[in-house]
Each structure stands twice: as structure tokens, then as C-alpha cells.
């Protein structure tokens, strides 16, 4: 039989408290939204988070992976250790949404002054987890186990030359002392209606790799191209060749994949054919074998096209985040918790997406589940809403209460099942 809190089932207690603290959660979100900070620079954000967690009487550690915050709630009864994670960093994006609490913050990113915005919903993640921490702390004596609240910096990637994010947190022992048995994460989604939750077992978000290709030709006057080897033309041919990897060489009935070149830089003036060209791109895959195959094909395509023109191509592929892979058995058990939070009709399977998440590093170490909570206003069309990572990104704050409850039920139900 499930435990009770103040004469209520724990489900009733969570729902009642979620209603009571909803406006507090909204206020947290607005504070974070108005004061965003970039990856590895979340100094004031972490101070705010730590202050709220300490006020709950939790054991709090700061400075984890530079600016991360970890709090521990020891339940009144023995049981497993569950981790709940929220990310903290904003993005170098200008805000266009007409909000009273819109960000006007500017900061430095890779040596340039940039506007900063919570353009991916990390402000809501922190607010929801603070809300969940308050509810779960109120149940401390009845909780069967330990809950570790992880507020993670630099999910969007550390600045050049720095470590950061989930990988650094793991390196610094965030999953130890006490050792975590399972971890749960939430991402708000601006194209999913408020009140709804979407999930997927196994491959949920893509692995992401950074692709750099340097094409070396031979410089010449722009009026006499036959005296040189044009690296810009060769680069153009390589870019077109790369598109045939996904469209013609990979079995897309297995999983989706993306190869995108996002930047191409070469030359200084109109009448000089330069010596080299550099391009940078991203690779997204949802299957490890497919990932390895695409890497091999990119290298072969680029080097052979360059060689055919008398140029050379140097290919460098850096593996960034692995596949966000939801443990199948744990996901199946977690569905009941999501139904408690949102209702049966509001919980559904989703397709895998080619976005990426460094929550995947936690999942490499312990079983984990990562789900999507709706943030799109009711009645809106997906095509009418601002996408993530854009100036028009918008979240309906009424969706956060569902996320608060989901955090609570995922942790409590896991501990109940393991008692």
C-alpha cells in the first residue's frame, strides 16, 4: 500500500502542493528568464538555486563542474538513491517575445558581446525542479530512500577550450556519494501542448558530432583559375557529396540521420582564389552502427572528391554527446508516473528527434529516463509557435505544474517499487 502524507495519499499530497506553489514556481521561472547566463558562467543563477535549496533544509554543494549545484534529501526510511536533473544555461540569442520579464542581458561569447536568452526552456527546468524539491522535502520522513537534485551547467556546451556539463559533473563524482541508482530528466517542449507529456523508450534524442573539414588547394589569381586549385569549388562539391550519404547510402528505415554543414569560410577578396577553405557542420544519429558508418563515409567522400580535383581534404570528427537512450525497462515502469502527473489521455509515445542532450552522459552510467513536457499554449498550432533556440521561443507557464508533478512521481514511484 502506498504511503500517506497528512492523511492523504502521496499522489494527493503532491497534487495539492503543486497547486499551492504554482505561482512560486512561476516567479522562479521569471527570475531565471530575466537573468540568463551562458554556459559555465551561471554564477548568479547557481547562487539563487543554492539559496532556495538551503532554505528547504537540504544538504547543498555548490561549485560542481564550475557552477553546478547538487542538493541531497535523505528520506526518513531506507531505500534507493534517485537523481532528478535540470539544466541551467541560457543561449546567445536575442529575445523578441513581448514579455514583461524578457531578457535584456548581454554577455561575452567567444570574444564577442552577445544578447543572452533562455531560448530552450532551461529556466523552466530549474523552476520545476525547485518546486519538486519543495514538495518532496515536505514528505521527508515518509520517503523511502534518498533524492539527489542535480542543477547542471553548460548543457548547451562549454565555451571553447573549457570542460563542462554533464560529463564534467560525472567526472567530479555527481553520481557517487551516495551512488545513484536511477536518474530522471525533463525537457519542456514549445511544440507540445501544455498538460501533455511525451516519452520514448530507447533512442530518444540523437548523438551529436562536430564535423570540421579543411580543404587545401593552390592559390592563384581569380582571372586565371587554371593556374591553381580552387578550394571553394572543391568545398562546394564536397558539401553536395555529403548530402548523398544520408539520402542514398544509409538505410533510413532503421533510424533517421542528419549531416549539415553550417559554416564555410574561405578567401579575403573577389579576385584571389585562396589556398584553403574550412567548413564546420553537425552530424546527428540515433544508432551507434549508423554513426560509425556515416563517419567513415564522410571521410571517404571528402578526401576522394578533393583528390579528384587535385586538392586535399583533412576531416576531423569530434564526438560530442552520445544518444539519449532511455532504459527500456525503466521507461515502461515510469509511464505510470507520467500518467499520475498528466492523466492517461495526455501521455503518449513520441518519435525520436535529431536534437541532442548531454543528459545522455548520465544514462551511460546509470539507468535513466528523459521525457518531454508540454509548453505550447492550448489551441495553438505547432507551426505558429517559436521554435527552440530562436528569438521567438515562448513557453506557456501553466505547463510547468505538470513538470513539477512528473519530477515528484518519477522519484517517489521508483523508490516505492524498490522498497
Query: Residues with catalytic annotation?
Result: 321, 397
Task: Confirm if 93 and 390 have CB atoms less than 8 A apart.
Answer: yes
Instruction: Tell me the residue length of the chain.
Output: 419
Q: Which three cell numbers stand for residue 241?
A: 557529396
* Residues paired with 108 in a beta bridge: 113
Measured between alpha carbons, how far is 192 from 399 in angstroms, rounded to an integer? Answer: 10
* Residue whose grid cell is 547566463: 37
CB 33 within 8 A of CB 118: yes
> Which residue in 72, 76, 41 sits closest to 54, CA to CA?
72
Tell me how crowded residue 108 is: count the other CB atoms within 10 A of its CB. Answer: 13
Question: What backbone torsions phi and psi does residue 394 show, to the nearest 5 degrees?
Answer: -145, 140
Alpha carbon 279 to its chain's center: 25
How distant, in Å, are the alpha carbons of 43, 112, 402 from that of 337?
34, 44, 11
Tell me how far apart the alpha carbons of residues 147 and 408 are, in angstroms, rounded to a whole number. Answer: 10
Amino acid at each position: 500500500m502506498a504511503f500517506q502524507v497528512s492523511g492523504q495519499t502521496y499522489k494527493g499530497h503532491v497534487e495539492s502542493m503543486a497547486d499551492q506553489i504554482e505561482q512560486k514556481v512561476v516567479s522562479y521561472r521569471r527570475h531565471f528568464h530575466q537573468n540568463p547566463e551562458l554556459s559555465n558562467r551561471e554564477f548568479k543563477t547557481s547562487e539563487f538555486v543554492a539559496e532556495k535549496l538551503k532554505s528547504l533544509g537540504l544538504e547543498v554543494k555548490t561549485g560542481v563542474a564550475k557552477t553546478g549545484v547538487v542538493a541531497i534529501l535523505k528520506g526518513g526510511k531506507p531505500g534507493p538513491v534517485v537523481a532528478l536533473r535540470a539544466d541551467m544555461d541560457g543561449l546567445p540569442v536575442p529575445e523578441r517575445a513581448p514579455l514583461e520579464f524578457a531578457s535584456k542581458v548581454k554577455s561575452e561569447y567567444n570574444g564577442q558581446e552577445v544578447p543572452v536568452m533562455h531560448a530552450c526552456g532551461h529556466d523552466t527546468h530549474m523552476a520545476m525542479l525547485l518546486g519538486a524539491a519543495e514538495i518532496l522535502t515536505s514528505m521527508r520522513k515518509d520517503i523511502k530512500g534518498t533524492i539527489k537534485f542535480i542543477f547542471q551547467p553548460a548543457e548547451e556546451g562549454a565555451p571553447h577550450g573549457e570542460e563542462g556539463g554533464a560529463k564534467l559533473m560525472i567526472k567530479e563524482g555527481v553520481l557517487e556519494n551516495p551512488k545513484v541508482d536511477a536518474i530522471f530528466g525533463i525537457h519542456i517542449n514549445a511544440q507540445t501542448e501544455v498538460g501533455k507529456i511525451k516519452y520514448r523508450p530507447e533512442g530518444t534524442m540523437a548523438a551529436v558530432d562536430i564535423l570540421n573539414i579543411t580543404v587545401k588547394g593552390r592559390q592563384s589569381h581569380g582571372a586565371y583559375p587554371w593556374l591553381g586549385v580552387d578550394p571553394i569549388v572543391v568545398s562546394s562539391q564536397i558539401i553536395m557529396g555529403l548530402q548523398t550519404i544520408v539520402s542514398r547510402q544509409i538505410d533510413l528505415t532503421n533510424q533517421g540521420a542528419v549531416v549539415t554543414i553550417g559554416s564555410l569560410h574561405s578567401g579575403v577578396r573577389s579576385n584571389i582564389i585562396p589556398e584553403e577553405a574550412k567548413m564546420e557542420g553537425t552530424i546527428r544519429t540515433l544508432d551507434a552502427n549508423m554513426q560509425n558508418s556515416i563517419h567513415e563515409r564522410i571521410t571517404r567522400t571528402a578526401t576522394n572528391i578533393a583528390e579528384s580535383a587535385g586538392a586535399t581534404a583533412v576531416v576531423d570528427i569530434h564526438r560530442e554527446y552520445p544518444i539519449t537512450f532511455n532504459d527500456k525497462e525503466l521507461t515502461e515502469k515510469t509511464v505510470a508516473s507520467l500518467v499520475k502527473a498528466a492523466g492517461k489521455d495526455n501521455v503518449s509515445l513520441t518519435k525520436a528527434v535529431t536534437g541532442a542532450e548531454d543528459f545522455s552522459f548520465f544514462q551511460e552510467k546509470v539507468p535513466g529516463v528523459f521525457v518531454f513536457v508540454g509548453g505550447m499554449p492550448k489551441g495553438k498550432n505547432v507551426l505558429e509557435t517559436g521554435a527552440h533556440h530562436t528569438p521567438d521561443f515562448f513557453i506557456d507557464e501553466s505547463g510547468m505544474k505538470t513538470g513539477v508533478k512528473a519530477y515528484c512521481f518519477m522519484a517517489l514511484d521508483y523508490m516505492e517499487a524498490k522498497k
